[in-house]
Amino acid sequence: MRIGMLTSGGDCQALNATMRGVVKGLFEKLDDVEVYGFYDGYKGLIYGNYRLLTSTDFSGILTKGGTILGTSRQPFKLMREPDENGLDKVKAMKDNYYKLNLDCLVILGGNGTQKTANLLREEGLNIIHMPKTIDNDIYGTDMTFGFYSAINIATDAIDCIHTTAASHNRIFIVEVMGHKVGWLTLYAGIASGADIILLPEIPYDDKKIIEAIQKRKKAGKGFTILAVAEGAISKKEAKLSKKDLKKKRLKENYPSVAYKIADMIRMETGSEARVTVPGHTQRGGSPCPYDRILSTRLGAAAAQAIIDRNYGNMVAMINGETELVPLAEVAGKLKVVDPNCKMIQEAKAIGISFGD
């Protein structure tokens, strides 16, 4: 069999671990298999930048962060647009697939990547998609690889802030990755004992944030920790159109939402709120043990799907079991945090404020 493989979109810790799982699974069961790695995501497939990989390429990479193939963001909405030299990107990808006589293409990536994977499936290519993202927002799988590694890093960051916040009796805001969804902020916020957690799915009210800070003060707690998702929005902002919100944010000119909230807290309470942004550290370093196991299991399941020629699917983890989910059913959908879910209710029950 001849397999193509690429990693696309923002990277995460367990991309290599997942590719290793797929390739080990294939080499274990098939005598005659060739794996071609395309460099820098869909770019490599479009421009024919690839290399035949050997088992040596996949040795010692279980614990290695990043991606041995490189990655890039190629927006789905531009896939049907010709490139700057007039090249038809979709045709170019298909031509390279057929030129190499591939049986299947294994695509590791998040939501945008998945949409293009589905487009290639609709164009007749044999596709297997592997759900990657620290955001855990891929519809149709309980878990994405990268998520738990990122939780560990964001939690460590908030833990470190906790001790210094307590020493100085300060208010601290830690901005956690996640523009559209708040899974990472929710998990890291609970794991690190944040007092206020702000998610894109639960628009906040300034007054409620101040009330939560004052409640802690009254209880004799001089410091407050806020875990704020990159995409947190206020109740007022939630009423605006996307365009008007963008305009408003540009006019306000804060580097990010955490600084805007810090300013509001300073104005309302007279106390300074310090901001920490762990940023891309959340996508870096080695995968945590959970992700290594998840990646290995998803990889083995992908290898089996390839051997069975069970194409057109995402390899998902559902209720602790690997499952194949048709790309046609999930592509273009986002898995968001339900504001009324048990986890939020339980967090609220122990006094965590969501600013609502």
Measured from the CB of residue 149, what is the shortest distance to ligand F6P in angstroms? 12
CA distances from 120 to 90, 125, 316, 347, 353 (A): 8, 6, 19, 42, 44
The catalytically annotated residue of 40, 135, 137, 195 is 135
| Of 60-68, 115-123, 131-139, 305-313: span binding ligand F6P (CB under 6 A) | 131-139
Number of residues lying near ligand F6P (CB under 6 A) = 11
Query: Which 8-state DSSP code applies to residue 204?
Result: B
The tokens for 120 are 């290639």
| 70 near ligand F6P (CB under 6 A) | no
The tokens for 217 are 């003060």
For residue 172, give the 3-state DSSP assignment. Answer: strand
Closer by beta carbon to ligand F6P, 278 or else 299: 278
Q: Using CB under 6 A, which of 51, 80, 168, 179 touches ligand F6P?
A: 179
Tally of CB atoms within 10 A around 334 = 11
Closer by beta carbon to ligand F6P, 129 or else 283: 283
Instruction: Name residue 173's amino acid.
Output: I
CA distances from 7 to 69, 74, 125 (A): 7, 11, 17
Q: Residue 228 is inside which H or E element, if any?
A: strand 224-229
Q: Using CB under 6 A, which of 4, 178, 299, 312 touches ligand F6P?
A: 178
Q: Residue 99 is inside which H or E element, if any?
A: helix 89-99
Residue nearest ligand F6P by beta-carbon distance: 177
Measured from the CB of residue 178, what is the shortest distance to ligand F6P in angstroms? 5
Q: Residue 91 is inside which H or E element, if any?
A: helix 89-99
Closer by beta carbon to ligand F6P, 229 or else 306: 229
Measured from the CB of residue 350, what is the shortest distance to ligand F6P in angstroms? 26
| 62 near ligand F6P (CB under 6 A) | no
Measured from the CB of residue 32, what is the shortest distance to ligand F6P in angstroms? 37
Crossing angle of the two packed helices 183-191 and 147-168, in degrees rounded to 10: 50
Q: Using CB under 6 A, which of 177, 232, 277, 324 touches ligand F6P?
A: 177
Tally of CB atoms within 10 A around 52 = 11
| 133 near ligand F6P (CB under 6 A) | yes
To the query of whether residue 137 is one of the catalytic residues in this protein, the response is no
Q: Using CB under 6 A, which of 21, 65, 66, 110 touches ligand F6P?
A: 110
Q: Using CB under 6 A, which of 4, 7, 8, 10 touches ligand F6P?
A: 10
| Of 132-140, 205-213, 219-227, 314-322: span binding ligand F6P (CB under 6 A) | 132-140
Residue of 270, 277, 265 lying closest to 196 (CA atoms): 265
| Stretch 226-255 residues interacting with ligand F6P (CB under 6 A) | 230
Strands 171-176 and 104-109: unpaired
Residue 7, beta-bridge partner list: 108
Residue 107, beta-bridge partner list: 6, 129
Residue 325, beta-bridge partner list: 314
Cβ(247)–Cβ(274) below 8 Å: no
Binding to ligand F6P by CB under 6 A, coded x per residue (else -) over 187-226, reads: ----------------------------------------
Closer by beta carbon to ligand F6P, 165 or else 198: 198
| 131 near ligand F6P (CB under 6 A) | no
* Burial of residue 240 (number of CB atoms within 10 Å: 0-12, 13-18, 19+): middle
Closer by beta carbon to ligand F6P, 4 or else 131: 131
Residues at the interface with ligand F6P (CB under 6 A): 10, 73, 110, 133-135, 177-179, 230, 283
Catalytic residues: 135
